[in-house]
Structure 1
Amino acid sequence: MHLSFHGADRNVTGSCHLIQCAGKKILIDCGLFQGGRALSEENAEDFGFHPWEIDFVLLTHAHLDHCGRLPLLVKRGFKGEIITTSASKDLARLVLLDSAHLQESEARSREKRSRRQRHEHEAPAPALYTLYDATRCFDFFGRVAEYQQGIPLAEGINACFYDAGHILGSASVALELEEGDHRRRIVFSGDLGSDGRVILRDAEPPPPADFVVMETTYGDRLHRSLASSIEELYTSINTCFARNGNVIIPSFALERAQELLWYLREGVESGALPAGMHVFLDSPMAISATEIYRHHPECYDEQSAQLFAHQRDPFTLANLHIVRDLNDSMAINQIKGGAVILAGSGMCTGGRVQHHLKHHLWDRNSSVVFVGFASKGTLARQIIDGQRSVRILGEEVAVNAQIHTINGFSAHADRDELLAWHHHIQAPHTFLVHGEDEVMQHFAGLLQNTKVHLPQQGECFDLLAL
């Protein structure tokens, strides 16, 4: 009975953990490393295990850093079963097809650069995986998990998914393991949501366990209150409009975009925001994700369920413009003021937001509002950390716009919420993952009545010997 770590170990992305028990190998997530060239190169390296030996993948949710290497896993020989919730399955299809398209586009760009620079003798790196690989990956999605309903994986091995409250369909996973006369329960937190959010229910802790593997993204800080965060969002928009500028909000397509649409609608309806305010949802993925959200009421909290029951769409407001076409996206930059532009990606590592930042970041009248976590090495983190200029789409761009960072919208639990969730699990052994090293060190010092482990990449633990 062994547990090994193959991603999100002393960093924030690439979640991937492996359980070996009773002759079966079970992978919890298979995410993409994000944040810089070194991490991108790490995606192409060996997994640290043989993909063809994996029997099951239990996917906690559809964020790219948790599901983004699934097509590569299949490409390299995986023949097992992928199990996740219905909503995560739908969102993963969207995310993985988009990722494959991006992988192919970046590979073509590398090839063109190589030719221009006459480096024909140096073969550019190929796409990590293709649209074909991503499409083929969906053939291996099998049974659909329902919250609090056990799923037998093999004799003596059962899995149960619990609502993690992070994004639509997100889950923590509890594994009941039996090997010979030994029985153990291990819980994987996945990413945990912050309490009191709109749209989704709060996270539900699994039952107590012998071991817990948990995320620590915000393990060293508290979020601002939601009410003050909403007020700051409205203030940042109104003050920018008073300067006749535009507001750029780099937004994650899953959960954050839908939540922001909710608050922008509420702001207009309450009079806190201008009635004629134009909002552009400029993210094909976010647009499609919003449609998926509408089809999964089983994930809603009571407030959201009641709105839909009364035929009210909480994601729609009067002057909302859905922008799918690239030419329409580029035309937005002709608007000189009074627009809110929601565009992907949240960490500004790609997507249409880079185009909008290139046209607005130098403008003192404009504002950029960050409403989510930004990993080290990302463009978003460079701007947040106060760099005077940044490189965007091959050009150096001055940072003159007003920069706002509002962390109260985070889809991740904060320090106290993580501690409360951990206290419920009561695990004698805790493995901390999915956080920056200094954050994990801080959070480890707060935990009581448990032995804390901070695993390194590739480290393996004998669960019967601990």
Structure 2
Amino acid sequence: MKLTFLGGAKTVTGSCYWMQANGKNILIDCGMFQGHDKEEDLNFEEFPFDVTSIDYLLLTHAHIDHSGRIPKLCKDGFKGKIICTKATADLCAIMLPDSGYIQESEVEWKNRKRQRAGKPLIEPLYTYQDALDCIQFFSPVSYHQEVRLQGNITIKFSDAGHILGSSILEIWVNENNSETKIVFSGDLGNQDIPLLKDPEIIESADYLIIESTYGNRIHKEKENKVRNLLNIMEETIAQGGNVVIPSFAVGRTQEIIYEIHKYRELYKDDMEFLTHVPVYVDSPLAISATEVFRKNLDCYDEEARAYIENGDNPLDFPNLTFTRTPDESRLLNEKQEPVIIISASGMCEAGRIKHHLKHNLWKSNSTILFVGYQAPGTLGRRILDGAQKVKIFGEEISINARIENIEGYSGHADQQGLLNWVRGFKNKPKKIFIVHGEPESQHAFAKILKKQFKIETIIPERGDSYELTSYSITAQKPLEHLRENFVRLQLLAQLDVLSEEIYFLTKQLNQDVLNGKDDEEIKIIQSEIEEIQNSILQINLMLKGSV
């Protein structure tokens, strides 16, 4: 059996793994690279295999960084089965067409600019119709249902507790009279995520491929996250400001709605604002996803099901409004009274959230409240990292708003949660592959895995390939071009972010110098600028040397 890492390697997006066993070709996930424009160019690469040869695509969950290139796969000739849980299939039926619509809209906007500049026009990665066409290949299964594939391969999905329908994937491969078991963690959820069940324990594996989004972090304030959320809201509303929550349309949005619904009654005496302040969910995709949540009650935890059994809808309350049209969305920024706006995208890279940031980031009485992971290079990450100004739709926006981040609402398990899950294996894996994380997170997680469990780990790069048997693992020749493209585009993305930061820094320095910094402060600034100059000169010399 051969396993090749095509995405989600030393990064948190683009999850995709290619397994070859007994003459069968299987993909595990087929996600989009997300973040900076340059990194997203990876999505346009040709697949490094004959698309028509892929027999099965096994999908751990519906998030676009795991499912977003499925329409391209089908457009390029895939005719096999896409196997996943029913809830995942239901979510993909709305998320993938939405992604196609975004691809078309962004290309239309770019082409207007390219046409004016005399540049050739470009095509979208895929269209809305391409995404609709791929839904026919989905083949939903139930949790815990053992599915026998061709090629002496058996699979089973268990609940990962990350989003509705998310799965841990177990794969048994029988070849050469020997059985090898591989487990893909998918994205593992936190314990006690609202609405959802906790991640299930898996008892055995020969090899484990595990995510590491928070492999070096412990979520702060997990116990007090609800109180913290409500306190931030109350304080902002009392100042007459708006609370803007960039939120993933699937998962986080429904969790926040559920929390407000639940605590409106519990805290009604000292959190009275919850009963009358308007709450808006401003994302057509989030609205459709909420309907999917309502139709998959079997995925709910006991508390959420109790609401349903008592005739209460846990994803609704009287002062909640869903805004569907662009006109309804625009009107939110004209309201005089304080409001709470939950809007996608969660990393602030696209969608209606950018308009709400444009209208609220500069207001000192408003709050931007992050409740999910922000990938490097994204607008959300720059805001969270303390940028003083950002560009939105080409306009410079000063950041005067209160910026808050509640890590306890992350849909990903933290380091302790990941370790506890690995601890649940009765028969520990021989080797662990660490994926879906930034390098510093992966290295920290690898170190603690070895310390606590004495298990050797591998942190694969994009394009790395391994031959696996029940008793050995052998590195194969990697797909070098995949690795090189990834590194080059990451570097270009970093340069673009650096360029924007230098632009704002230059403006700030000009202003500070003109406003009369004292001589000692000027000398310090001058010294630091000289260091930056020397670094740039060294890079320039390296580049000239490589020409």
TM-score, reference length from structure 2: 0.83
Asked if 1:332 is matched to 2:328, the reply is: no
SS at match of 1:27: strand
After TM superposition, the structure 1 = structure 2 runs for residues 299-318 of structure 1, keeping only pairs within 5 Å, are 299-318=299-318
Q: Which residue of 2 aligns with 1:130?
A: 127
Rate the CA distance shift 1:206–1:170 in 2: closer, same or farther, 3 A: same
2-structure distance, mates of 1:318, 1:171: 33
1:387 equivalent in structure 2: 387
AA aligned to 1:25 is: N
**What's the offset of the Cα at 1:310?**
1.2
Residues 232-283 of structure 1 deviation map (CA, whole Å, 9 limit, x = unaligned): 1111111111211111000111111111011122332222251211101101
- The number of equivalent residue pairs is 462
Quote the residue 1:461 is aligned against. 466
Instruction: Write the distance in 1 (CA, Å) between the matches of 2:115 and 2:445.
Output: 48
Say if 2:377 is the partner of 1:372.
Answer: no
Identity among equivalent pairs (%): 41
Q: Residue 445 of structure 1 aligns to a residue in which SS?
A: helix
Give the 5 Å matches for 1:8-407: 8-117=8-117, 119=118, 122-142=119-139, 144-269=140-265, 270-271=267-268, 272-274=271-273, 275-407=275-407
1:339-364 deviations in whole A, cap 9, x for unaligned? 00000011001010001111111111
CA distance, structure 1, for counterparts of residue 424 and residue 460 of structure 2: 22
Cα-Cα RMSD: 1.1
Aligned mates of 1:20, 1:449 — CA distance in 2: 29
Q: CA offset at residue 106 of structure 1?
A: 0.7
CA distance in 2, matches of 1:22, 1:307: 48
Q: 1:238 to 1:6 in 2, by over 3 A?
A: same
**Secondary structure in structure 1 of the residue aligned to 2:317:** coil
**More helix by proportion, 1 or 2?**
2
1:412 aligns with 2:412: yes
Q: Would you say the 8 A contact 1:245–1:336 is kept in 2?
A: no
Large movers: runs of 4+ above 3 Å:
none
Would the aligned equivalents of 1:245 and 1:366 in 2 still touch at CA under 8 Å? yes
Mapped to 1, the partners of 2:245 and 2:456 lie a distance apart of: 41
Contact 2:261 2:314 in 1 (8 A): yes
Q: Is the 8 A contact 2:97 2:129 kept in 1?
A: no
Structure 2 letter corresponding to 1:8: G
SS in 2 for 1:334: coil
For 1:175 and 1:263, how far apart are their aligned partners in 2? 36
CA distance in 2, matches of 1:231, 1:125: 48
Q: Whose Rg is larger? A: 2
Q: 1 CA distance for matches of 2:272 and 2:64? A: 33
Alignment gaps of 5+ in structure 2: 474-547
Superimposed CA distance per residue, residues 55-107 of structure 1 (whole angstroms, 9 cap, x where no aligned partner) = 00000000000000000011111111000000000001111011000000011
Contact 1:246–1:336 (8 Å) recurs in 2: no
| In 2, Cα distance between equivalents of 1:266 and 1:162 | 28
CA distance in 2 between partners of 1:79 and 1:161 (Å): 22
Aligned 8 A contact 2:23 2:151 in 1: no
Measured in 1, the distance between the counterparts of 2:374 and 2:419 equals 22
**Structure 1 residue runs without a partner (length 5+):** none
Judge which range, 186-195 or 220-229, deviates more.
220-229
> 2:440 maps to which residue?
438
Compute the displacement of 1:182 (Å). Answer: 2.4
Q: Is the 8 A contact 2:14 2:66 kept in 1?
A: yes
The alpha-carbon distance between structure 1 residues 424 and 267, as it changes in their structure 2 partners (threshold 3 A), is closer
